[in-house]
Amino acid sequence: MLRFVVSASAVALLAGTAAAADLPPPVTVMPPAMVAPTPLSFNWSGFYLGGHGGYGFGNGAYNDGFQIGGQVGVNYQFAGGFVIGAEGDGSYVDWGGTNGIGTVRLRGGYAFDRFLAYATGGAAFDNDVGWVAGGGVEYALTDAWSVGVEFLHYDINNDSSNVIRGRVNFLFDGLAAL
């Protein structure tokens, strides 16, 4: 009986070892490599609301004087950095011939991440309707605030003013997901 127990134990021990030798080696799972995320470039798409102030150099019925007001607009940025938009503004002016002036303009430009350079043009109006054209640059300080400088030439009934003004905008990113 003792021989049987020893023989059975030896067979069981050898059989277990033989089965273990047939298993594949354990798989070592390596953690994913640490890769720094690629920073996303700023997207100018969305609505904005802001204020502006500057100085105009007038001709005709428009005297030299200051301008202060607000603007509202929307931009859409295409892949590749091209930006189009529309803006309306209204301003109190100290130009002698009028106390207020407004515009409705289209904007088009190119974004270099947080920096936007653009040209603009459209209709200008005080008591009459004329045109306005110019350009500017804007920089996004944060995802919600931008600052910029703009040049505009107003021409209404041969009365004109060349305005240089600063601007500050609060950016809503409602179209950024499109």
* Confidence at residue 123, expressed as pLDDT on a 0 to 100 scale: 98
Record the pTM: 0.75
Residues 49-72 have pLDDT tens digits of: 999 999 999 999 999 999 999 999
Judge whether residue 26 has pLDDT over 80: no
Residue 176 confidence (pLDDT) above 50: no
Block residue for tokens 């306005």? 132
Fold of domain 46-172: Porin (2.40.160)
178 pLDDT more than 50: no
- pLDDT higher than threshold 80 for residue 153: yes
Domain ranges of the chain: 46-172
**Per-residue pLDDT at 45 exceeds 80:** yes
